[in-house]
């Protein structure tokens, strides 16, 4: 174990050394381990976790080097009501965030951290979000007492020696302090100090609450950095679509958690498209950092290096690329297991049956599902067959289209295009979706989730919308903006659109629009493809499906725009006038 910081005090690592020493004085660990990210280090940590039962080995024949972790049953999802953004002024966090004054939050958190690592090892994890040599990337250091977090951060970020070298070069990093504490929901808080580039998280070992590079750094803190520095930190997948001529367009798409981002990012084209030579490349499945390049286009990187994907529903049909990615070197959290110790979840549809559920009890469907609905796999992106070589490009990829989407059983058609950037920002700001199991709370309730950033924007949404609008400058060559809804249901409650690979038909129309080749029909809510706009060859759609997927329910949209107006009014006078004007313009056009 390496207890010494690998560079002398007085170097540009002095601030890091001081912080680590201060945290150690507060948390009083038995040992300090500086993570170098090496294979040997990982092997030692895995062995330790296997010995103490934190990780259970899965079938080495079918899933080599793969592990099952069971989290505490009360610690299975992000906890938005316990997540705070602590700006000096309450207004700067906005009505979209829970807020505490910074001094009070520090005092509260430091009291929890006091002595909390006694008997434990404190791990110091230097990491880089984004390709190690990209100017768009940013570094952080997470201090944690959880070896499970270390193993996950190793898959999800560029972690260890190269990140430390970059921190030494740049002298700046985001500070994240995490302890699993006692896993007592009464003593659980995830607290952000954007001005101080600092995160403190106590009492959870799960996902975005504990892997601080992900939601806490790459979205909440990064959105604040991005606003100051003129870029965008977004809850978006990035994919590349290569057409039969060999041209690739990159698309960034925002959907709320557990709405199929990973499936869309790894889409396999329908048979006919494959035959014609279409290919889809995965750049990222969850987070996108974008910045205008010298040519006026937006260039994007995926700050993550792995996938922390929702397991249930992942199958050879829904996402063969994900399934291929997780055959080895994968950490599964809260899934069920079969008699021969293979991971299992609802919707895997592989003909096997679970014998043990995610809590380690004999599977009884009357009691609970085998896998928790928010159970996950963690795996390096490099294992994904569709992983794009461009994902490692330090310049990022140029974005041709931005897509917003949500889960809407009614009203919202399959796809529409915004008329211009300002309209596109309104489309993002007005996004609504039915809630899922990725966060605690009721599932299936419609809530507004602007740009899918409701749980993740580190500052006032009114200022965030203004920041989005500010990209529309004279030299800018901004992406076209679209809205999709894969989740429209018919009167019988069944989905009307087949989804999955067939979503490429919708993306093809978008690319046609970007290239000026595809037609569209003007309506008050935006441009619709019309029935003839999409290639629907081989897709059987009923008349009801055609009406609902491609039509406009004017009365329904009038009510929707009244509701959007009420929602925007919650942001008060800070809301950019241009957005309200746009809402009023469309409401009027709807009559």
Helix (H, G, I), strand (E, B) or coil at 425: helix
Burial of 35 (0-12, 13-18, 19+ CB in 10 A): buried
Q: Would you state the structure tokens that stand for residue 82, as one six-digit string? A: 């316990």
Burial of 52 (0-12, 13-18, 19+ CB in 10 A): exposed
Map residues 288-317 to x or -, x wherever contact with ligand OXD holds by CB under 6 A.
--------------------x---------
Do 544 and 490 touch, CB atoms closer than 8 A?
yes
Map residues 241-260 to x or -, x wherever contact with Mn ion holds by CB under 5 A.
----------------x---
Q: Is 260 annotated as a binding residue?
A: yes
Q: Is 72 annotated as a binding residue?
A: no
Of 71, 134, 257, 341, the one binding ligand OXD by CB under 6 A: 257
CB of 234 to Mn ion, least distance (A): 11
- Asked whether position 438 contacts ligand OXD by CB under 6 A, the answer is yes
In whole angstroms, give the CA distance from residue 87 to residue 78.
21
In whole angstroms, give the CA distance from residue 574 to residue 300.
28
List CB contacts of 435: < 8 A, sequence separation 6 or more: 256, 441, 442, 443, 444, 445, 446, 447
Using Cβ positions, the residue closest to ligand OXD within the complex turns out to be 257
Q: Is 261 annotated as a binding residue?
A: yes
* Contacting ligand OXD within 166-225 (CB under 6 A): 207-208
Which residue bears the tokens 């030579």? Answer: 277
- Asked whether position 434 contacts ligand OXD by CB under 6 A, the answer is no
- Asked whether position 286 contacts ligand OXD by CB under 6 A, the answer is yes
Burial 92-129 (b: 16+ CB within 10 A, else e): bbbebbebbebeebbebbeebbeebbeebbbbbbbbbb
Q: Is 52 annotated as a binding residue?
A: no
Q: Given 128, 259, 288, 384, which residue is catalytic?
A: 259
- Which residues sit opposite 67 in a β-bridge? 57, 331
Q: Would you state the structure tokens that stand for residue 537, as one six-digit string? A: 């060859």
CB of 457 to Mn ion, least distance (A): 13
CB of 541 to Mn ion, least distance (A): 30
Q: Is 502 annotated as a binding residue?
A: yes
Q: Is 376 annotated as a binding residue?
A: yes
Of 145, 286, 304, 346, the one binding Mn ion by CB under 5 A: 286
Known catalytic membership, residue 139 = no
Return the one option of ligand OXD, Mn ion, none that residue 526 interacts with (CB less than 5 to 8 A, by type).
none
How many other CB atoms are there within 10 angstroms of residue 545's CB atom?
19
Nearer to ligand OXD, 202 or 308 (CB): 308
Residue 502 DSSP code: G
Sort strands 343-344 and 415-417 into parallel, antiparallel or unpaired.
unpaired
Residue 51 DSSP code: H
Return the one option of ligand OXD, Mn ion, none that residue 269 interacts with (CB less than 5 to 8 A, by type).
none
Do 451 and 429 touch, CB atoms closer than 8 A?
yes
Q: Is 215 annotated as a binding residue?
A: yes
Return the one option of Mn ion, ligand OXD, none that residue 207 interacts with (CB less than 5 to 8 A, by type).
ligand OXD
Nearer to Mn ion, 13 or 236 (CB): 236
* Contacting ligand OXD within 77-136 (CB under 6 A): 78
Binding-site residues, in ranges, read 78, 206-208, 215, 235, 257-263, 286, 374-376, 407, 500-503
Any idea which residues carry the catalytic annotation?
259
Binding-site residues for substrate, in ranges, read 78, 206-208, 257, 374-376
Q: Which residues bind ligand OXD (CB under 6 A)?
A: 78, 207-208, 257, 286, 308, 438
């Amino acid at each position: 174990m390496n207890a010494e910081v690998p560079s002398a005090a007085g170097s540009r690592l002095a601030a890091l050394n001081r912080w680590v020493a201060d945290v150690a004085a507060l948390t009083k660990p038995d040992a300090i381990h500086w993570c170098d990210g090496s294979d040997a280090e990982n092997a030692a940590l895995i062995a330790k976790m296997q010995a103490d039962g934190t990780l259970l080995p899965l079938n080495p024949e079918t899933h080599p080097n793969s592990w099952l972790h069971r989290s505490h049953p009360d610690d299975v999802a992000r906890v938005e009501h316990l997540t705070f953004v602590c700006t000096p002024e309450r207004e700067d966090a906005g009505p979209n965030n829970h807020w505490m004054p910074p001094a009070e939050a520090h005092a509260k958190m430091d009291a929890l951290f006091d002595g909390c690592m006694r008997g434990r090892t404190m791990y110091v994890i230097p990491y880089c979000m984004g390709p190690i040599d990209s100017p768009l990337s940013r570094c952080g250091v997470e201090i944690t007492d959880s070896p499970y977090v270390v193993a996950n951060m190793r898959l999800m970020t560029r972690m260890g020696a190269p990140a430390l070298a970059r921190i030494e070069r740049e002298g700046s990093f985001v500070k994240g302090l995490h302890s699993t504490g006692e896993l007592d929901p009464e003593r659980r808080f995830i607290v952000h100090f954007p001005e101080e580039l600092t995160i403190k998280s106590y009492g959870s070992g799960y996902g975005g609450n504990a892997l601080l590079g992900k939601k806490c750094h790459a979205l909440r803190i990064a959105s604040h950095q991005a606003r100051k520095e003129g870029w965008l930190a977004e809850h978006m997948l990035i994919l590349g679509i290569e057409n039969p001529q060999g041209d690739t367009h990159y698309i960034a798409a925002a959907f709320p958690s557990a709405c199929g981002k990973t499936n869309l990012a790894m889409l396999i084209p329908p048979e006919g498209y494959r035959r014609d030579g279409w290919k889809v490349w995965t750049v990222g499945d969850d987070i996108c950092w974008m910045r205008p390049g010298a040519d006026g286009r937006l260039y994007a990187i995926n700050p993550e290096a792995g996938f922390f994907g929702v397991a249930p529903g992942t199958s050879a049909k829904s996402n063969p690329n994900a399934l291929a990615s997780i055959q080895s070197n994968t950490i599964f959290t809260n899934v069920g297991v079969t008699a021969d110790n293979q991971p299992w979840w609802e919707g895997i549809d592989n003909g096997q049956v679970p014998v043990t559920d995610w809590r380690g009890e004999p599977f009884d469907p009357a009691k609970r599902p085998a896998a928790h609905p928010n159970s996950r796999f963690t795996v390096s992106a490099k294992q994904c067959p569709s992983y794009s070589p461009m994902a490692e490009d330090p310049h990022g990829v140029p974005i041709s289209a931005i897509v917003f989407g949500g889960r809407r059983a009614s009203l919202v058609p399959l796809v529409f295009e915004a008329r211009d950037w300002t309209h596109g920002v309104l489309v993002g700001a007005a996004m609504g979706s039915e809630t899922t199991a990725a966060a605690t709370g009721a599932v299936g309730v419609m809530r507004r989730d602007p740009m899918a950033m409701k749980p993740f924007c580190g500052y006032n949404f009114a200022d965030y919308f203004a920041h989005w609008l500010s990209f529309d400058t004279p030299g800018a060559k901004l992406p076209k903006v679209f809205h999709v809804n894969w989740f429209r249901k018919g009167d019988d409650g069944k989905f009307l659109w087949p989804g999955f690979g067939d979503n490429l038909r919708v993306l093809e129309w978008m690319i046609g629009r970007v290239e000026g080749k595809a037609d569209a029909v003007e309506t008050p809510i935006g441009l619709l493809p019309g029935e003839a706009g999409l290639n629907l060859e081989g897709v059987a759609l009923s008349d009801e499906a055609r009406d609902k997927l491609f039509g406009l329910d004017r009365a329904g949209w009038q009510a929707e725009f009244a509701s959007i107006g009420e929602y925007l009014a919650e942001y008060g006078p800070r809301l950019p006038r241009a957005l309200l004007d746009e809402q009023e313009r469309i409401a009027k056009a709807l009559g």
